[in-house]
Structure 1
Amino acid sequence: MKDNFSTQSDKYAKYRPSYPKELFDYLNIIVSNKDNAWDCGTGNGQIASILSKTYNNIYATDISQSQIDNAQKTDNILYSVQAAEKTNFNENFFNLIVVAQAIHWFNFDQFYAEVIRTAKKDALLAVIGYGRLRISKEIDHLISNFYINILGKYWDKERKYIDEDYKTIPFPFDEIESPKFENIQQWSLDHLIGYLNTWSAVKHFIKQNNYNPIEQLQTEIEKVWGNDTTKAIHFPILIRIGKIKK
């Protein structure tokens, strides 16, 4: 598993979008036993924090100590630095395993073997994420050009799985068809720029070229942003849910 997110972990926690409440309401309905949940690739702990309100125990893992240091803390979340593909969890332990915006970095075969080992019979694996944001026709065009033509070669090859809406990841489980969800955030221009600066391809670009391409993009967006203090930012939610047979 790659670690593209240990640097600037505080910005990752501040600027990355959350997920809609309706998504977790749905997961609460389809998972009856709420003893133990695993938030794998927890990052800033936002999923763990939400799950902690309905599950007795949340085990949240990430390979980045820096991410965990900046994660949201509650009494029933146990954070640990562990790779997704090899953990110290007991067999037949989890009722729900969630991976949010992270599975494309994993070794699929090794992770799925760990899922099967640590999950209880008929537990659920929920793979979730979010696609490219939408704001307005003019701004979307600028960001799309930036995403494809400026950052194109700087994206890790794994990014294709997000561009393909997680539909092309291996998924050897009994899949459950889920509703469609959308995440709508109200962001200022500063927040939008902060989010764009968390993109891994931006970090790769800066490392290779010694300047931040976001600065030019910000200038272009400012010209079409208008007088709004905030704008609605739309993120399509990517989701694959499977029942784990043993």
Structure 2
Amino acid sequence: MATFSKASFNAAAYLKFRPDYSPRLYSALFNYHRGQRDLAVDVGTGTCQVAKALAPLFGIVQATDPSETMVKSASTNVASNITVSVASAEQLPFPDTSADLVVSGQAAHWFELSKFYAEAYRLLKADVGTGPGQLGPYWESGRQIVDDKYPGFEDVARAAGFKDVERWEYPAKGQMIEKNFSLNDFQQYLKTWSAYKTYGDRHPDQPDPVDVFIEDMAKREKVTDREEVWEVEWPGVVIIGRK
């Protein structure tokens, strides 16, 4: 890290020539993320490549780096909702349970990892997947197997005698499941979930959780035409073998 901190380090060249992460990686990340999008923290931000990708999706992005050289270069060309500051990954200047997302783009090899994870845990809000109005606890038990991408299934296949057993995971093998949806279509799709039906049966007097989610999504993504068609992808896994 000392190299990046030197005043002579060419941060402008770093910004110009470093590759960006694929949009598909961000898509997979947000498929996993199920919390609010008020505050994201990008640790070891460098020249804010990750922070810039997060800015359209979060209310505020706090980008930190221990290198004053990096921070000075990064803070000259960022969106108005990105704040760039000098801070170490092991001591971040933000309150407990204040962040919805904590990320680091290929910088964690510089960190004291146990201290960084402790800081990330301190900063993050609790998982809202099982909170009021959420559908997490209303899935049947088998759903967790799907969410965990069928863990151990290939071992069972091998034990049964199958050979050349492989696991293909999104996005490594490309698109797994896809459909073109308008936001209105997507709203109706969510209402086909078994957890939605179970929640409604148990809480008939509560606000419709899908309608609330769609309204929030439309606001955050600034969707004005709910019939505009979007390409939607789902993560998935394929387990194959030969006899």
Which structure has the higher relative contact order (CA within 8 Å, separation 6+)?
1
Give the TM-score, by structure 1 length: 0.49
Structure with higher Rg: it is 2
* Larger strand percent: 1
